[in-house]
């Protein structure tokens, strides 16, 4: 557990997000709305962009009981030593290891209730078409090193693969759900 990112109020230990992520990206977190489809973090090397979104992914998965997350790199093999490692570090920094299971085949991190952070590469964009979640919906996609995506068409295929908007109402009718989705 990383020291200095927690505060105690009324006997309850909470995470101080601003201390965890630093000042530079707090606007990205605290102005985030459910209706915002696309967000972009831009900055130089070593500005904590990757570590920031890894923190955000962990908090988002815990905080919203419908969330599943897909993490994308250009090549799927690049995830293991970058995105996967960053999220594992964030889980450790928060002291939450006992609530998560990590797997390397397939590469994924599972929260205790079955929702997941999944990892994939754009080297086979058609494999992203049928991602199913056993609990909740695919609501978030994080693209690490987005400049590596080879074409606009590849991005559009990824964007269109996030379809958490349909479900069944109490009468069994197929209806559009109000499920926020964000890249």
3-state secondary structure the chain: CCCCCEEEECCEEEECHHHHHCCCCHHHHHCCCCCCCCCCCCCCCCCCHHHHHHHHHHHHHHHCCCEEEEEEECCHHHCCCCHHHHHHHHHHHCCCHHHEEEEECCEEEEECCCCEEEEEECCCHHHHCCCCCCCCEEEEEEECCHHHCCCHHHHHHHHHCCCCCEEECCCCCEEECCCCCEC
Reading the chain (183 residues) residue by residue, the pLDDT tens digits are 666 666 677 777 677 766 666 666 666 665 566 677 787 777 777 666 777 788 888 988 988 888 899 999 888 888 888 899 999 998 998 888 999 999 988 899 999 999 999 998 888 766 677 677 888 888 888 888 888 888 888 888 888 777 666 666 677 777 666 677 788
Residue linked to tokens 């030593």: 81
Question: What local confidence, expressed as pLDDT, does residue 48 receive?
Answer: 67
Question: What local confidence, expressed as pLDDT, does residue 168 receive?
Answer: 67
Question: What local confidence, expressed as pLDDT, does residue 155 receive?
Answer: 86
Question: For the chain, how many residues are written?
Answer: 183
In Å, what is the CA distance from 177 to each residue of 116, 130, 160?
20, 19, 16
Question: What local confidence, expressed as pLDDT, does residue 21 receive?
Answer: 66
Question: What local confidence, expressed as pLDDT, does residue 94 receive?
Answer: 85
Question: What local confidence, expressed as pLDDT, does residue 116 receive?
Answer: 94
Question: What local confidence, expressed as pLDDT, does residue 122 receive?
Answer: 85
Question: What local confidence, expressed as pLDDT, does residue 179 receive?
Answer: 74
């Amino acid at each position: 557990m990383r020291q200095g990112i927690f505060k105690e109020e009324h006997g309850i230990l909470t995470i101080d997000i601003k201390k965890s992520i630093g000042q530079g990206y707090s606007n990205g977190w605290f102005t985030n709305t459910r209706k915002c489809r696309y967000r972009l973090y831009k900055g130089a090397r070593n500005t904590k962009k990757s570590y920031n979104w890894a923190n955000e992914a962990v908090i988002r998965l815990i905080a919203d009981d419908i969330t599943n997350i897909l993490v994308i790199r250009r090549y799927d093999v690049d995830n293991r030593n970058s995105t996967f490692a960053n999220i594992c570090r964030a889980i450790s920094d928060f002291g939450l290891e006992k609530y998560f299971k990590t797997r390397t085949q397939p590469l994924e991190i599972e929260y205790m209730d079955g929702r997941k952070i999944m990892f994939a590469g754009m080297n086979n964009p058609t494999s992203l078409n049928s991602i199913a979640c056993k609990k909740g919906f695919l609501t978030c996609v994080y693209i690490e090193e987005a400049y590596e995506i080879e074409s606009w068409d590849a991005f559009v295929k990824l964007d269109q693969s996030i379809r958490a908007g349909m479900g069944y109402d109490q009468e069994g009718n197929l209806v559009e759900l109000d499920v926020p989705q964000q890249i």
